[in-house]
């Protein structure tokens, strides 16, 4: 083998090593970027969940329903006659009921679509959401029979999921640290 061939092979080997190192570094960088993207997405989902819950917390319809039907610490379904009589006295009460139920349906749809973080919403609103569902279950069933068969389905499914026997949830890493 001539000196020229040895130098040529050495240069090709060196070039191969440099290209290989570049590929390895590129793959490593892509994996790192993917992890950063997932963490950032998770952070944004948690933030969005916190913001939407805050908006609902400030909504006067929740307070109104609590005052009208004395919902605090009450998990029994409301009598439909009582609900109907109160709605007849004040027609805007039905709007308040639908606003609260629609807000919670929005949470459930957002969770199902990956827009909101379920753990954040569960930690902040589980009690209120399960209580309102229990109180208005008869009303929801009647609305499904008379108007929209799929009304508040995602909300109902979410509450039923939360009411299942608790399994150990996997602890996840905190974000934003």
d(CA 49, CA 115): 8
- Mean pLDDT computed over 6-17: 91
Answer whether residue 125 shows pLDDT above 90. yes
Q: Output the pTM of the full model.
A: 0.77
Query: What pLDDT is attached to residue 59?
Result: 87
pLDDT of residue 176: 54
């Amino acid at each position: 083998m001539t000196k020229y061939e040895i130098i040529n092979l050495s240069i090709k080997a060196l070039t191969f090593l440099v290209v290989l190192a570049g590929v390895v570094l590129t793959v490593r960088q892509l994996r790192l970027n993917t992890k950063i993207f997932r963490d950032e997405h998770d952070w944004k989902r948690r933030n969005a969940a916190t913001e939407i819950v805050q908006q609902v917390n400030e909504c006067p319809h929740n307070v109104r329903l609590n005052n009208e039907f004395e919902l605090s610490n009450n998990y029994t379904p409301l009598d439909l006659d009582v609900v109907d009589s109160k709605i007849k006295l004040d027609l805007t009460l039905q709007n308040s009921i639908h606003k609260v139920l629609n807000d919670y349906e929005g949470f459930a749809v957002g969770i199902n679509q990956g827009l909101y973080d379920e753990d954040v919403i569960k930690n902040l609103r589980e009690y209120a959401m399960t209580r309102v569902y229990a109180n208005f279950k008869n009303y929801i069933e009647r609305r499904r029979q008379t108007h929209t068969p799929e009304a508040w389905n995602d909300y109902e499914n979410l509450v039923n999921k939360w009411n299942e026997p608790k399994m150990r949830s996997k602890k996840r890493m905190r974000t934003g640290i």
